[in-house]
A and B are shown apart, each in its own frame.
Chain A
Amino acid sequence: MSGRRSTSERLEQLRTRVIIERDGTSSSDFPFHNSSRYPDLDPIAEFRKKLKVKIIRKAQYDMEFDLIGVNTAIANALRRIMISEVPTMAIEKVYIYDNTSIIQDEVFAHRLGLIPIKADPDMFYFKQENEGPTDMNTIVFKISHECHYNAKARDDETNPKNLYVGHNLLSASLIWDPKGEQAERFADNPIQSVHDDILIAQMRPGQRVELEAHCEKGIGKEHAKWSPVATASYRLMPEIILKEEITGDLADKFAACFTKGVVEVVQEEVNGEMIKKAKVVNPRIDTVSREVLRHKEFEDKVQLTRIRDHFIFTVESTGILDSERIFIDSIHIIQSKCARLLLALENKLRPPDKDENMMSVDT
């Protein structure tokens, strides 16, 4: 890149990139500050053309994908919805018949609530406040657990693992008690906790737990236990711009300033001499530690930026829903929100003689 750039180039960079400087970013967190130069929102056709979703990594409960060509607000809305508005099932009410463990009832209930329950939330309704539990809004689990001495243990045994039977109360002890038609409806994938090795309480002989736990449908906004994700977040695509070539031993030092694999040092023949040269290979995996900006020798040779409309999303599911399902659900939710907003706007814009409840839209 040449040293001098035109103003429009600089403005374009400001618009499309976040410039990472030593002491701060070029960003202002005031919304749409930079997008004020947009010629309004892109026409839908152009938007379609620009929009890209690339799945980079996909495991069942963990995925990384790129969302390219959308406005920050939309990407952020998706992130927020994934965290707080995608519904799941979680234990909400616990009826304790007997609990002689050292975990107090409230704490016990709280711990149970945080256990992810593998149940498709779409198969259930939200339980309304005035509603009793039915097989369509509640899943019932039971725990009946007691700790004993292990009769087979040696006399000098000190390891609780061998000394006692059932000294760890694990989430596997949550036994689903199908109600109504639930047994048929979930015949293919019976309801259970996602992990069966979550420690709920440690027990000692003579201690007993007997309880009934009711799962209800809810969203993360209400309580974090309903959040389907451990976290969902995005980062912007890093971009490393070399303004000058970095050669020789400096190249090694330069490469060391980035995450391994971002910058490679290649041998290049210049005027018949082999010269080491730094080459940006994979900026995507860079953590943008800004280490390079600390060093005087790279001043003015490198510019770190991040692409404003290239979002690298990471969705880490708690295991209740597949990670892609969470993303798709979030899109559905944003769609319905938009639809509701449009309807409301429409109602608002309609001549006032039609007196109707404007917000009478239900999903």
Chain B
Amino acid sequence: MGKKTVTFADDKTSENVEKSYEQAKRTTATEKRITDPIKNVEDKWQLLPAFLKVKGLVKQHIDSFNYFIETELKKIIRANDMITSDVDPSFWLKYLDIKVGPPERPDNDHEAHQSVFTPHECRLRDLTYSGNIYVDVEYVRGKTRVIRKDTIIGKLPIMLRSSKCVLSGKSESELAKMFECPLDPGGYFIIKGTEKVILIQEQLSKNRIIVEGDKKGLVQAYVTSSTHERKSKTYIVAKNDAKNDKIMLKHNSISEEIPIVIVMKAMGIQSDKEIAQLISGGNQTFLNMFSPNIEHAAKIKIFTQKQALDYIGSKVKVTRKIANVRRPMAEEALEILATVVLAHVPVVDLNFQPKVIYIAIMIRRVLMALANENLVDDRDYVGNKRLELAGSLLSLLFEDLFKKFNFDLKLNIDKLLKKPNRASEFDAHKQLMQHGDCITNGFVRAIATGNWSLKRFKMERAGITHVLSRLSYISALGTMTRITSQYEKTRKISGPRALQPSQWGMLCPADTPEGEACGLVKNLALMTHITTDDEEEPLRRLAFNLGVEDVSSLTGSELYQPNSYMVFLNGLMLGITQQPTGFVKDFRSLRRCGRISEFVSIYVNHHHMAVHIASDGGRVCRPLIIVESQIPKVTSEHIKKLKQDQMKFTDFLAQGLVEYLDVNEENDSNIAIYEREIVPQTTHLEIEPFTILGAVAGLIPYPHHNQSPRNTYQCAMGKQAIGAIAYNQLRRIDTLLYLMVYPQQPMVKTKTIELVGYDRLPAGQNAIVAVMSYSGYDIEDALVLNKASVDRGFGRCQVMRKHVALMKRYSNGSFDRIGDPPVATELQTGPSAERFSILEKDGIAGVGERVSPGQVIVNRHTPTNLNANIPINMPIANAPTIQFTWKHAPLSYKSPEPGYIDKVCITTTEQEQTLIKVLIRQTRIPELGDKFSSRHGQKGVCGIIVPQEDMPFADTGICPDIIMNPHGFPSRMTVGKMIELLAGKAGVLKGELQYGTAFGGSKVEDMSKILIECGYNYSGKDYVTSGITGEPLSAYIFFGPVYYQKLKHMVVDKMHARARGPRAVLTRQPTEGRSRDGGLRLGEMERDCLVGYGASMLLMERLMISSDQFDVHVCEKCGLLGYRGWCQHCKSSKFMVTMQMPYAAKLLFQELQSMNIVPKLILEEF
């Protein structure tokens, strides 16, 4: 069966499709005339804020978590609701219901706390924001049945702003009372005081057939089955070469590949004719392709089900426990076929019919792909992907923990029931209460470390959670929309990394990191929503009501009738229909009137002659305006109502004006971007084209004028920009917090900026920029700053760093304490008195004090003896009599730059230990080497700060804040920056903000007009006078405001030099790295230069004298190292000489000696 293109009857449909497409193209050209009036819906972008109110950006996290709490928890409970005892058959325990309570303080018994437990308290006190899991149980106590309600079985971390969170549905002023920022999106957890995000995980979709081929002609169809019980992967493999053209089934639990005909026979289809029917459906080409398989089965003499089962049974991998009695192989095979192979296809009462048809469809897909290479599936197609969110990951985790909990409970109950005589009546409720920590700790550990290791599901994943980055507001948003995929980052494959056309509108095309994770880590677009699971049963009934013929009543020949389309629901076949278009139309109209969930998608695949209905979770979808007979259903009237708050986004959905499409259905639709592009075939209209970008890329003004990598660079840099973080930023005590002193909202905004709230939490300043060369200190993208601007507060920022002292309690009853500040008279004056000078009477540094390096912040003492055992049962009254001795263990300030004490927080942790957090603030003025960037991926460091009088000035007397070298433009092609400058300048002159929204925004022509009206040159270039000579410059200078971000990389944090300093203990070489005051390494390449040059003495100095020179005593006779002029080997001092060598070399010799290798030194006069 060499490579050949076969034409067969079915292919005609695809030809038809193409023909109709051609036709459509032609009609587009003719029917639409330029003179036709364009019916524009004004301000339809207003739908966007309305959408973001209910869905989008971070809402999918919250929706998914809510779904988990409200629906999935109950499902899991229902699936594992009974606990019985092996000891006492009359005992049982049944879970009736489960619910999650509001977040509660772990030490709620303190009566002092009457207030609500807020997330902010968790952040400050290093607590976990979690609520109790309550279950209702019914069980047997003695002889009676008891129902117990609201038993706590553990604690579940609560997602912020989810339905259980105290913040949900609160107004801005209520949030302010709880010290919470109204712009904070929520969707993360607080675990032991740190904010953790469960990243969105990208996966191939489960329970769907995917056909792939490779260059060697191997075609395989595979399905990853996933049910609550089991996860498995089944392959059907075919090789497209002359030697081996058999189709085989491959599965992990079967040791070798099984010919597919044998599998079908084992499933009870014994007649060859029936098999042939199921696969070819009367099509001669397929029959010819498949017939060798049938012949092969006959050749190895397998005809009946029994024979086939025996054949398979002999190949099954034995995984059974030894304890079980070995069953006949055939039975083993039958069970595997029924439950493990294609586990998601249900086999009820050994009725293999659905599974056989499923396999037949898979085989047919393989055959089709063999015949036509184009029919393989694209694994990177977004429609074949599912995004896993916090809810589904947590439900997996909960399922695992709950099963373990039940298992432990059962063991415990059994153990207790075994006891012959019990003091009190056995009450299972007590046992239930005792195991709470297992679930609580399981959740906390998984979210804190990000390791999801669930043995039950063979799941071993690391890096699921990230710390919510609070560098800037945008970086926090960025982590919330981030999607990671499970692909290995090291592999050099381009497919998954490439930009997929189907990503349009769903995933941001610009926002991806550079380097190894490029293209693997993605971000959601602005209007994306991710679905949650939906009930299948109503959909199944609906499909049958709409005229689908049930599979179970079909034979092979009916399956592949020329006009019949197969109908699938979530990958499982329901039946066939003769009128696919009508069916789909009816189905869609039912969805539009809200009879079924708006997130159910339905589409026709003409190549496979199939209609797919999907209601599973994790599909990406987005809303679009419905277009019917060339008229968008949303009119200006609706938008007016929306503006007046008479309509909400849900009303648009309910009235069938707007609907959600997932990627697959989008592919089945004809979507116009603008009204003017609507043609008769159009089914939908985009709400706004700029929504194809995400929240981070949405900050870029005029991104459609930039070279695309520049937008990507800006996406990475926007997250490093210093600015305002949240309205509660001054209440936060974070490890590291960067704040800008005077942040400004950008002159040139975008719609996205307003939607995400960047204008209220900006990170940057509008600098007046002159694009010109100045002084030579501006080469290689360096910037020239105006000293007067810097003096007046440009680029000023604050760095706050947290310093923590935990007052520990030790097992022997001793504990850390805070000592009084040493009395001045006791200390000798000088540096040591200076160290303690900022301490207040409580032994903690005072707020507002200036801290210099080395000064003590918290004067902590620790007990000297931690091991002395104090009798545990000693009465507490005696405790004061124990005398502890203490030693100094102060928390001191290490940074080389002085700072100021900003805040001191004294609190207790969950373990009743005193926790002292001290926030130290540094205010930083821009200096040489600080990094700045515009919003177009144009970063640069400050090269020189020039006094104002030296700066060039325009006729109006304005002199720039920043001078940027024009060489930054030609190769970068960031035209967007130039337009931003122009629009910014026009905005400043007119006194209004301008828009640089992607694919729209203020037009250059209008901007030029404003400039001319205001007496400026249309091009934005001004006549400028040099501040140094006073003469006008010979060129006109492009001059105007550009939004500049200060990035977190500042020289003070980086600069480093040392003359002498610490050395490593083992090698006595200088330490490495700035944090350890390390040396600067003369590396291999530098060494090569010196070797090449022949500077041997310099080499000697750099590599030995300045590093780890060591005097050794060597015995010239035996060549071994001696000690102090004595050779222990020769027992003599006669031949000893001293020489210098690196300590590392001496160490090497000794280590070799310890391995019984003797290095001998043979010395010569030098």
- Among candidates A80, A225, A294, residue contacting B1018 with C-beta atoms closer than 8 Å: A294
In the complex, A290 Cα to B1036 Cα: how many Å? 11
In the complex, A18 Cα to B125 Cα: how many Å? 69
Check A267 for interface membership: any CB of B closer than 8 A: no
CB of B1033 within 8 A of CB of A25, answer yes
In the complex, A220 Cα to B741 Cα: how many Å? 22
Q: Mark A22-58, 1 if CB is under 8 A from B, else 0.
A: 0111111111010000000000000000000000000
Contact sample, A vs B, 22 pairs, CB 8 Å cutoff: A24-B1034, A24-B1035, A24-B1036, A25-B1036, A26-B1034, A27-B1032, A28-B1034, A76-B1030, A80-B1027, A99-B848, A104-B902, A107-B741, A107-B923, A224-B788, A231-B953, A233-B956, A234-B1025, A288-B955, A288-B1023, A289-B1011, A289-B1016, A289-B1018
CB of B1017 within 8 A of CB of A72, answer no
In the complex, A314 Cα to B1025 Cα: how many Å? 14
CB of B900 within 8 A of CB of A72, answer no
Task: Add 11 more A-B contacts to A18-B1032, A24-B1035, A106-B923 (CB < 8 A).
Answer: A28-B1031, A31-B1031, A77-B1030, A83-B948, A224-B791, A225-B791, A227-B948, A259-B1015, A287-B1015, A289-B1017, A291-B1012
Given A80-B1027, A224-B792, A227-B788, residue A236 in contact with residue B1012 (CB < 8 A) = no
Closest 5 CB pairs of A and B: A76-B1030, A233-B957, A287-B1015, A224-B791, A224-B788
Interface of B, helix, strand, loop or mixed by DSSP: loop
In the complex, A76 Cα to B902 Cα: how many Å? 45
Check A114 for interface membership: any CB of B closer than 8 A: yes
In the complex, A37 Cα to B9 Cα: how many Å? 94
Check B307 for interface membership: any CB of A closer than 8 A: no
Check B730 for interface membership: any CB of A closer than 8 A: yes
- What's the tally of chain B residues with a CB closer than 8 Å to chain A? 41
In the complex, A32 Cα to B1033 Cα: how many Å? 13
Q: Which of A242-289 contact B (CB under 8 A)?
A: 259, 287-289
Q: B residues bordering A, Cβ < 8 Å?
A: 730, 741, 787-788, 791-793, 796, 798, 848, 900, 902, 921, 923, 947-949, 953, 955-959, 1011-1012, 1015-1018, 1023, 1025-1027, 1029-1036
Tell me the nearest residue of chain A to B921, going by C-beta. A104
In the complex, A73 Cα to B1031 Cα: how many Å? 8
- Among candidates B788, B957, B1030, residue contacting A316 with C-beta atoms closer than 8 Å: B957
Given A24-B1036, A72-B1031, residue A287 in contact with residue B923 (CB < 8 A) = no
In the complex, A235 Cα to B796 Cα: how many Å? 32
| Distance (whole angstroms) from the CB of B797 to the closest CB of chain A | 11
| Distance (whole angstroms) from the CB of A275 to the closest CB of chain B | 27
CB of A289 within 8 A of CB of B900, answer no
Give the residue among A99, A221, A287, A294 with the most B Cβ atoms within 10 A: A287
In the complex, A264 Cα to B1030 Cα: how many Å? 32
A-B contacts at CB below 8 angstroms, number: 118
CB of B791 within 8 A of CB of A223, answer yes
Check A214 for interface membership: any CB of B closer than 8 A: no
Given A31-B1031, A72-B1030, A75-B1030, residue A83 in contact with residue B949 (CB < 8 A) = yes
| Distance (whole angstroms) from the CB of A311 to the closest CB of chain B | 9
Give the residue among B921, B959, B1030 with the most A Cβ atoms within 10 A: B1030
Check A232 for interface membership: any CB of B closer than 8 A: yes
Check A79 for interface membership: any CB of B closer than 8 A: yes
Check A198 for interface membership: any CB of B closer than 8 A: no
Check A329 for interface membership: any CB of B closer than 8 A: no
Given A29-B1031, A102-B730, residue A84 in contact with residue B949 (CB < 8 A) = yes
In the complex, A30 Cα to B1029 Cα: how many Å? 7
- Among candidates A18, A31, A96, residue contacting B1029 with C-beta atoms closer than 8 Å: A31
Q: Could you say which residues of chain A place their CB within 8 Å of the CB of B947?
A: 84, 221
Tell me the nearest residue of chain B to A31, going by C-beta. B1029
In the complex, A102 Cα to B902 Cα: how many Å? 11
- Among candidates B791, B792, B1034, residue contacting A27 with C-beta atoms closer than 8 Å: B1034
| Distance (whole angstroms) from the CB of B1021 to the closest CB of chain A | 9
CB of A80 within 8 A of CB of B900, answer no
Tell me the nearest residue of chain B to A33, going by C-beta. B1031
| Distance (whole angstroms) from the CB of B1019 to the closest CB of chain A | 9
Q: Could you say which residues of chain B place their CB within 8 Å of the CB of A231?
A: 953, 957-959
Given A31-B1029, A221-B947, A225-B791, residue A106 in contact with residue B900 (CB < 8 A) = yes
| Distance (whole angstroms) from the CB of B402 to the closest CB of chain A | 47
Tell me the nearest residue of chain B to A96, going by C-beta. B848
Check A20 for interface membership: any CB of B closer than 8 A: yes
Give the residue among B787, B921, B956, B1025 with the most A Cβ atoms within 10 A: B1025
In the complex, A61 Cα to B602 Cα: how many Å? 73
In the complex, A25 Cα to B949 Cα: how many Å? 22
In the complex, A353 Cα to B792 Cα: how many Å? 50
Tell me the nearest residue of chain B to A258, going by C-beta. B1015
| Distance (whole angstroms) from the CB of B1066 to the closest CB of chain A | 44
Q: Could you say which residues of chain B place their CB within 8 Å of the CB of A120?
A: none
Check A105 for interface membership: any CB of B closer than 8 A: yes
Tell me the nearest residue of chain B to A71, going by C-beta. B1030
Check A306 for interface membership: any CB of B closer than 8 A: yes
Q: Could you say which residues of chain A place their CB within 8 Å of the CB of B1018?
A: 289, 291, 294
In the complex, A31 Cα to B1027 Cα: how many Å? 12
- Among candidates A28, A234, A287, residue contacting B1016 with C-beta atoms closer than 8 Å: A287
Check A127 for interface membership: any CB of B closer than 8 A: no
Give the residue among A79, A84, A224, A294 with the most B Cβ atoms within 10 A: A224
Q: Could you say which residues of chain A place their CB within 8 Å of the CB of B1016?
A: 287, 289
In the complex, A51 Cα to B1023 Cα: how many Å? 25
Q: Could you say which residues of chain B place their CB within 8 Å of the CB of A114?
A: 792-793
Check A15 for interface membership: any CB of B closer than 8 A: no
Q: Mark A286-322, 1 if CB is under 8 A from B, else 0.
A: 0111110010000000000010000000101000000
CB of A29 within 8 A of CB of B1026, answer yes
Tell me the nearest residue of chain A to B952, going by C-beta. A29
In the complex, A233 Cα to B1025 Cα: how many Å? 10
Q: Could you say which residues of chain B place their CB within 8 Å of the CB of A107?
A: 741, 796, 923
CB of B900 within 8 A of CB of A105, answer yes
| Distance (whole angstroms) from the CB of A287 to the closest CB of chain B | 4
| Distance (whole angstroms) from the CB of A352 to the closest CB of chain B | 34
CB of A20 within 8 A of CB of B1023, answer yes
Q: Mark A206-225, 1 if CB is under 8 A from B, else 0.
A: 00000000000000110111
CB of B955 within 8 A of CB of A235, answer yes
In the complex, A333 Cα to B275 Cα: how many Å? 107
Q: Mark A81-93, 1 if CB is under 8 A from B, else 0.
A: 0011000000000
Q: Could you say which residues of chain B place their CB within 8 Å of the CB of A259?
A: 1015
Check A110 for interface membership: any CB of B closer than 8 A: yes
| Distance (whole angstroms) from the CB of A346 to the closest CB of chain B | 28
Q: Could you say which residues of chain B place their CB within 8 Å of the CB of A18?
A: 1032
CB of A287 within 8 A of CB of B848, answer no
Given A107-B741, A294-B1018, residue A25 in contact with residue B1023 (CB < 8 A) = yes
Q: Could you say which residues of chain B place their CB within 8 Å of the CB of A84?
A: 947-949
CB of B957 within 8 A of CB of A80, answer no
Tell me the nearest residue of chain B to A80, going by C-beta. B949
Tell me the nearest residue of chain B to A99, going by C-beta. B848
In the complex, A227 Cα to B1018 Cα: how many Å? 33
CB of B1032 within 8 A of CB of A224, answer no
CB of A232 within 8 A of CB of B1023, answer no
In the complex, A18 Cα to B1032 Cα: how many Å? 8
CB of A72 within 8 A of CB of B1029, answer yes
Q: Could you say which residues of chain B place their CB within 8 Å of the CB of A290?
A: 1017, 1023, 1036
Q: Could you say which residues of chain B place their CB within 8 Å of the CB of A220?
A: 788, 948-949
In the complex, A20 Cα to B900 Cα: how many Å? 54
Q: Could you say which residues of chain A place their CB within 8 Å of the CB of B1029?
A: 29-31, 72-73, 76
In the complex, A24 Cα to B1019 Cα: how many Å? 13
| Distance (whole angstroms) from the CB of B557 to the closest CB of chain A | 77
CB of B1032 within 8 A of CB of A306, answer yes
Q: Could you say which residues of chain A place their CB within 8 Å of the CB of B948?
A: 83-84, 220, 224, 227
In the complex, A270 Cα to B675 Cα: how many Å? 56
Q: Could you say which residues of chain A place their CB within 8 Å of the CB of B955?
A: 235, 287-288
Tell me the nearest residue of chain B to A232, going by C-beta. B957
In the complex, A231 Cα to B952 Cα: how many Å? 13
